[in-house]
Amino acid sequence: MKKILFIFIAVLFALGCNTHAKQENIALNNGEKWKVNEEMKPFLEESNEILNNYIANNNENYTELAENLKNENFKLIKSCTMKGESHEELHKWLHPHMELIEKLAKAENQKEANKIIKQLKDSFAVYHNYFE
């Protein structure tokens, strides 16, 4: 039930925010990073920390990792209060990031999961390049 609710909210979120399935080019805000609302930052930071801890501890339970990241995204979506261009730019990053988490949840083996985990790590690097 929790998974269905997450997927439902993610779809509504994507449709409501006019996001696209493929990675779009994220632009800086006149050469500066975009500001992310304070209400949303803890969930982004916690997701990044969950991923970093997973990697640092050589964990291999990638399905648990996917669930933990989904839970943080669910909280992030509920806390979304951003509007305007910063909101749109964040969604250019977030939607593909969420798709990676879905792929991780469906990974068939550790080798496949490790490739996706690397992509998630790279995704967080992109986030930190464009948002603060």
As given in the structure block, the two tokens for residue 123 are 């995704």
Residues 33 and 131 sit within 8 Å (Cβ to Cβ): yes
CA distance 100 to 98: 5
Least confident of 9-23, 40-54, 75-89: 9-23
pTM of the full predicted structure? Answer: 0.81
Least confident of 8-12, 38-42, 90-94: 8-12
Q: What mean pLDDT do residues 109-114 have?
A: 98
What pLDDT does residue 38 have?
Answer: 94
Name the region of 31 (left: φ>0; alpha: ψ -120 to 50; beta: rest). Answer: left
Sign of CA dihedral 63, 13, 24, 42: negative
Q: Is 114 exposed, middle or buried (0-12, 13-18, 19+ CB in 10 A)?
A: middle
Q: What mean pLDDT do residues 9-33 have?
A: 63
CA distance 56 to 63: 17
Of residues 20 and 91, the one with the higher pLDDT is 91
Sign of CA dihedral 1, 78, 9, 45: negative
